């Protein structure tokens, strides 16, 4: 093959929107029409999807394992909650404050997290989240402690859309934020920066030898991931008008890891699909058996990790490969 | 004399063990310089000291006249020192073109661009394509690295290093593990590397060393035993004794 005949199309088209993706983003509209009485659950799914997306950016793309990602979710939730409880009820202002607060926390803690091996990272992230949990638990005057943060009052979104009892505004608000941040994340993973993150995950030892400042890149994506998580937490605080202490719990961090693995880490859609599958399964299974529903979830997780390592997205990819049909765009 | 890479009294101790012992190496600009020595002679340690993967216990590393002893790996890369690895360190799930484009991005300072897609940075992509063309890798440009034969993967090792547009290139046993059926193409590519790039070759394959090098330094027990032209080295009784054996009479 010569330079003149070389076809750059596969690289140039890597970030094109695939028709399957466009169809995917019609799902929120379909869900709204089909399940009009379940908007609260659907809103939770969108928020969880955004939270999961934030873990996917740092774990799925950059390879940073974390068992304490709830730290940023909770920090954002309290930041937005406290802002609204203290008289500044504008939702977007709350998102901005939460994003900045969590990003700052992410940036500062990134220097601790980036030291050492995967096991060290697991423990450091876990430890930071535990400390934050107990701080929130202790500062009852500020956070309400175990009783939760109350008195959150939101002003209408963009000055026009009141947060209604049915949760319509909340739903579209959460979906819109999810979509915008998904779109931005999609830009990011297809950019040179995103490529360098994949390089770091695939072979961190090589990266300095091609002149890449590994720690600076990891610090940057960790900060961005923290901001995303903070926005997800803020959405929860604003749409439920309440912040429970468990926004910072270990359970939330661990569950998030489970959701990402279930959906398929290293694929943005994996994060969103994982949230949809997990929350729906949770809903259905706990309806059937409120006490033991986690049994089936555990079984599902074991099966996915052993037999479909890239989660639902990996399974879909293999299916579509087999069918010779849809491909790369959805990655 | 114009030196591309020098060490002055370079030493590295691991606990009580001296892996590098007072090495003062001079690599002339534009040279094809080979570093040879028996197993355990400290070749890899020396490479790691040169590239900044390890910090020396004593001594200095001087790159194009600048003391880089205290600089990290990626800072030395920015100053023109690139290397390949004895054992492939590639990006298995990236395509060949993505891998090399990523490396070019870093050299051009585009690596932190987070908005426009990789394919929209035309200069980097074009350069990567041209580099792959020069190494005759265009055919596999869109293949995942993991799917390639080992010999081809060794070429990608070199492509990633060349993407740094190095002034000095360290080739750490470039032919290691390559079956003889694939090695000819690899040797040709190495021989065709641009003459203005200074090359320091660490190699076990004496065939390749004597075909390729115009200077040879011999490392034994962490210290430099001798250095000289291939003829001098091949006929040096000390070298024969410790390393080459009587088999080679070049």
Query: Per-domain residue ranges for chain A?
Result: 16-330
CB contact under 8 A, A11 and B110: no
Element (H, E) at A224: helix A214-240
- Residue B88 is encoded by which pair of tokens? 């492939």
Q: Please give the Cα distance from B233 to B227 (Å, whole number).
A: 7
What does the DSSP 8-state code read for residue B10? Answer: E
Per cent of chain B over pLDDT 90 is 51
Question: φ and ψ at A126, to 5 degrees?
Answer: -60, -45
Cα torsion A194, B71, B13, A116: sign: negative
Q: Which residues fall within 8 angstroms of residue B133, CB to CB, at 6 or more apart?
A: A2, A3, A6
B72 CB within 8 Å of a chain A CB:
yes
Q: Please give the Cα distance from B5 to B79 (Å, whole number).
A: 12
Q: Nearest chain B Cα to A11, which residue?
A: B119
Burial of A324: CB neighbours in 10 Å, binned 0-12, 13-18, 19+: exposed
Residue-level pLDDT at B250: 39
Where are the domains positioned within chain B?
3-93+164-244, 94-143
Determine the distance from the C-alpha atom of residue A316 to the mean position of all C-alpha atoms in its chain, rounded to a whole number.
Answer: 20
Name the H helices within A3-160: 9-12, 19-24, 27-34, 39-55, 70-85, 91-113, 118-138, 140-143
Chain B residues inside the 8 Å CB shell of A192: 102, 105, 110-114, 118, 121, 124
Contact criterion met (CB below 8 Å) for A94 and A82: no
CB contact under 8 A, B102 and A192: yes
What does the DSSP 8-state code read for residue A295? Answer: H
CB contact under 8 A, B142 and A2: no
Residue-level pLDDT at A214: 92
CB contact under 8 A, A202 and B92: yes
Q: Nearest chain A Cα to B161, which residue?
A: A210
* Half-sphere exposure (Cβ direction) of A14: Cα atoms closer than 13 Å: 23
Mean pLDDT value across residues B154-167: 92
Per-residue pLDDT in tens (0 to 9) along chain A, 331 residues: 677 788 888 888 888 899 999 999 999 999 999 998 899 999 999 999 999 999 999 999 999 999 999 999 999 999 999 999 998 989 999 999 999 999 999 999 999 998 878 899 999 999 999 999 999 999 988 888 888 888 888 888 898 888 887 889 999 999 999 999 999 999 999 999 999 999 999 999 899 989 899 999 999 999 999 999 999 999 999 999 999 999 999 999 999 999 999 898 889 999 999 999 999 988 888 888 777 888 888 888 888 888 777 788 888 877 777 776 544 444 4
Statement: residue B151 has pLDDT above 50: yes
Statement: residue B132 has pLDDT above 70: yes
Residue-level pLDDT at A155: 86
Statement: residue B31 has pLDDT above 70: yes
B165 CB within 8 Å of a chain A CB:
no
Residue-level pLDDT at A328: 46
Residue-level pLDDT at A1: 66
B115 CB within 8 Å of a chain A CB:
yes
Contact criterion met (CB below 8 Å) for A22 and A151: no
Q: What average pLDDT does the structure give for chain B? A: 88
Q: Nearest chain A Cα to B50, which residue?
A: A209
Fold observed for domain A16-330: ABC transporter involved in vitamin B12 uptake, BtuC (1.10.3470)
Residue-level pLDDT at A294: 80
Residue-level pLDDT at A324: 63
* Closest CA of chain A from B204, distance in Å: 23
Residue range B200-209, pLDDT digits in tens: 999 877 777 8
Contact criterion met (CB below 8 Å) for B165 and B114: no
Residue-level pLDDT at A144: 85
Helix/strand/coil for A290: coil
Cα torsion B108, A215, B157, B116: sign: negative
Statement: residue B161 has pLDDT above 70: yes
Residue-level pLDDT at B243: 64
B214 CB within 8 Å of a chain A CB:
no
Mean pLDDT value across residues B185-205: 85
Q: Please give the Cα distance from A186 to B18 (Å, whole number).
A: 50
Per-residue confidence band for B101, with pLDDT thresholds at 50, 70 and 90 = very high
Residue-level pLDDT at B192: 84
Statement: residue B8 has pLDDT above 80: yes
Residue-level pLDDT at B248: 46
- Residue B191 is encoded by which pair of tokens? 């021989």
Statement: residue B54 has pLDDT above 70: yes
* Closest CA of chain A from B249, distance in Å: 37
Q: In what order do the strands lie in the sheet with B215-220?
A: B81-83, B168-172, B198-202, B32-36, B215-220, B223-228
CB count in 10 Å sphere of residue B194 = 12
Q: Please give the Cα distance from A45 to A275 (Å, whole number).
A: 6
Residue-level pLDDT at A290: 76
Burial of A114: CB neighbours in 10 Å, binned 0-12, 13-18, 19+: middle
Across the A/B interface, how many CB contacts are shorter than 8 Å?
134
CB contact under 8 A, B94 and A205: no
Contact criterion met (CB below 8 Å) for B23 and B11: yes
Superfamily of domain B3-93+164-244: P-loop containing nucleotide triphosphate hydrolases (3.40.50.300)
| Residue among B72, B118, B163 whose CB faces A195 most closely | B118
Contact criterion met (CB below 8 Å) for A143 and A245: yes
Statement: residue B28 has pLDDT above 70: yes
CB contact under 8 A, A2 and B82: no
Per-residue confidence band for B245, with pLDDT thresholds at 50, 70 and 90 = low
- Residue B150 is encoded by which pair of tokens? 């080992």
Chain A residues inside the 8 Å CB shell of B143: none
Mean pLDDT value across residues B3-19: 90
Mean pLDDT value across residues B214-237: 89
Q: Please give the Cα distance from B146 to B142 (Å, whole number).
A: 12
């Amino acid at each position: 093959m010569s330079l003149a005949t070389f076809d750059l199309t596969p690289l140039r088209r890597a970030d094109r929107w695939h028709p399957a993706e466009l169809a995917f983003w019609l799902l929120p509209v379909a869900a709204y029409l089909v399940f009009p009485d379940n908007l609260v659950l659907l809103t939770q799914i969108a928020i969880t999807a955004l939270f999961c997306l934030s873990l996917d950016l740092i774990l799925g793309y950059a390879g940073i394992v974390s068992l304490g990602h709830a730290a940023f979710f909770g920090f954002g939730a309290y930041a937005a909650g406290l802002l609204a409880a203290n008289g500044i009820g504008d939702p977007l202002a709350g998102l901005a404050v939460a994003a900045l607060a969590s990003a700052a926390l992410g940036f500062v803690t990134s220097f601790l997290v980036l030291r050492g091996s995967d096991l060290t990272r697991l423990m450091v992230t876990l430890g930071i989240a535990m400390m934050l949990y107990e701080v929130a638990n202790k500062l009852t005057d500020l956070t309400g402690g175990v009783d939760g943060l109350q008195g959150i009052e939101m002003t209408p979104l963009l000055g026009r859309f009141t947060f209604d009892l049915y949760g319509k505004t909340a739903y579209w608000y959460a979906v819109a934020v999810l979509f915008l941040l998904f779109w931005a994340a999609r830009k990011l993973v297809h950019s040179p920066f995103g490529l360098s993150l994949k390089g770091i995950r695939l072979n961190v030892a090589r990266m300095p030898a091609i002149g890449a400042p590994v720690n600076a890149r990891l610090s940057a994506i960790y900060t961005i991931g923290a901001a995303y998580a903070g926005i997800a937490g803020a959405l929860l605080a604003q749409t439920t008008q309440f912040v429970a202490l468990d926004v910072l719990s270990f359970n939330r961090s661990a569950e998030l890891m489970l959701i990402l693995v279930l959906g398929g880490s290293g694929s943005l859609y994996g994060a969103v699909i994982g949230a949809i599958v997990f929350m729906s399964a949770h809903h259905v299974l706990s309806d059937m058996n409120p006490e033991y529903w986690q049994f089936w979830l555990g079984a599902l997780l074991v099966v996915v990790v052993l037999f479909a390592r890239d989660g639902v997205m990996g399974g879909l990819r293999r299916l579509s490969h087999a069918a010779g049909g849809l491909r790369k765009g959805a990655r | 004399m114009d030196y591309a890479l020098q060490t002055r009294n370079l030493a590295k101790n691991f606990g009580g063990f001296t892996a590098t012992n007072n090495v003062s190496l001079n690599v002339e600009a534009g040279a094809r310089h080979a570093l040879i020595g028996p197993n355990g002679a400290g070749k890899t340690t020396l490479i790691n000291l040169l590239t900044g993967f390890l910090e020396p216990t004593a001594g200095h590393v001087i790159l194009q006249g600048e003391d880089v002893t205290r600089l990290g790996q990626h800072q030395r890369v920015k100053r023109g020192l690139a290397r390949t690895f004895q054992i492939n360190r590639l990006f298995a799930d990236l395509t060949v073109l993505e891998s090399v484009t990523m490396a070019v991005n870093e050299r051009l300072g585009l690596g932190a661009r987070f908005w426009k897609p990789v394919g929209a940075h035309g200069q980097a992509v074009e350069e990567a394509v041209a580099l792959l063309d020069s190494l005759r890798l265009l055919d596999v440009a869109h293949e995942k690295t993991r799917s390639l034969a080992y010999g081809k993967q060794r070429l990608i090792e070199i492509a990633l290093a060349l993407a740094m547009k190095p002034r000095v290139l360290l080739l750490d046993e470039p032919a290691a593990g390559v079956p003889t059926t694939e090695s000819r193409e690899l040797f040709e590519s190495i021989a065709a590397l641009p003459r203005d790039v200074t090359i320091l070759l660490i190699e076990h394959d004496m065939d390749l060393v004597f075909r390729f090098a115009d200077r040879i330094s011999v490392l034994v027990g962490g210290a430099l035993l001798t250095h000289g032209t291939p003829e001098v080295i091949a006929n040096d009784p000390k070298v024969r004794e410790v390393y080459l054996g009587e088999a080679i009479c070049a």
